[in-house]
Structure 1
Amino acid sequence: MSDEQFEKLRQELRRGILVLAVLGSLRKPHYGYSLRKQLQDVGLDIDEGTLYPLVRRLADQGLLTSEWQQGEGRERRYYQLSPEGAGLLESLTAEWQQLNNHVSKILEAGNGPD
């Protein structure tokens, strides 16, 4: 497999996971940079060109609320889960856990006796 093929598949795999990670991170208010930093701190590196459009799309879908707040000498737009977003996060988390369990079983089955 070429590096280009791997990168395309890796991005596809990460796309849905990033939505879940962003929603989970926004249980507490964050502005763009603080959200990006939190994700990086747990090992999910996401560039601004991916993060900011994703956050705006989630806000447009009513999954996030936002408000301008003064912080560290300048105004920043803080985002947080809306009630609808919190409900969706709960559902997506359950789905993620179920899928992760199924995929783990499949991957482990390749390592053990049939």
Structure 2
Amino acid sequence: MKEDGLLAGHLQELRRGTVVLACLAILRRPHYGYALLQTLDGAGFSVDGNTLYPLLRRLEKQGLLTSEWNTEEARPRKFYRVSAAGTELLDGLTGEWRALDGSIRALTEGEADG
């Protein structure tokens, strides 16, 4: 099936919900914004900077990320890292993701009763 408008819309919806999970997983180690964009892209999560930076600010405001500025280089960079609350959320979301993945696999492989 080619990625037409209908598929593209649903894929965007599906991906939107996974970006938070991906960011929390990556940010177990500190990253600055641009490096995070590259890491996400390399992992198959193509995210625009205009989407990522507001997300990082929101997650920080929710107490799920911490940040600090590195001013030792010529250009200051803000590094983000998952907080204890973010790690707890990551663990919960990962468990739920795995359960959902198992359920979808069962449905698509015809193992679930219907």
Between the two proteins, the alignment pairs up a number of residues equal to 111
Q: Percent identity?
A: 47
- 1:84 corresponds to: 85
Pair 1:38-2:44 in alignment: no
Measure how far apart 1:8 and its partner are. Answer: 1.4
| Greater displacement, 29-38 / 67-76 | 67-76
Where in structure 2 are the equivalents of 1:43-54 lying within 5 Å?
Answer: 43-54=44-55
- What is the deviation of 1:72? 4.2
Deviations 1:69-92 (A, max 9, x none): 135421111000011001110111
- Is residue 2:75 matched to residue 1:59? no
How far the C-alpha of 1:45 sits from its partner, in A, is 1.3
Structure 2 residue matching 1:49: 3-state secondary structure: helix
Per the TM alignment, residue 66 of structure 1 is displaced from its structure 2 partner at its CA by: 0.5
Structure 1: gaps of 5 or more residues: none
Greater mean deviation of Cα atoms: 3-12 or 96-105: 3-12
- Alpha-carbon displacement from aligned partner over 1:11-40 (angstroms, at most 9, x marks no partner): 110111111001101000011000011111
Residue in 2 aligned with 1:10? Answer: 11
- Give me the whole-angstrom Cα distance separating, in 2, the residues matched to 1:42 and 1:10: 16
Paired residues for 1:65-104 under 5 Å = 65-70=66-71, 72-104=73-105
User: Which stretches of structure 1, 4 residues or longer, exceed 4 Å deviation after superposition?
Assistant: none
Structure 1 residues 2, 21: CA separation in 2 closer, same or farther (over 3 Å shift)?
Answer: closer
**TM-score, reference length from structure 2:** 0.89
Deviation, 1:2, is: 8.3
Q: Secondary structure at the match of 1:109?
A: coil
Distance 2:65 2:43 in 1: 22
CA distance in 2, matches of 1:71, 1:42: 29
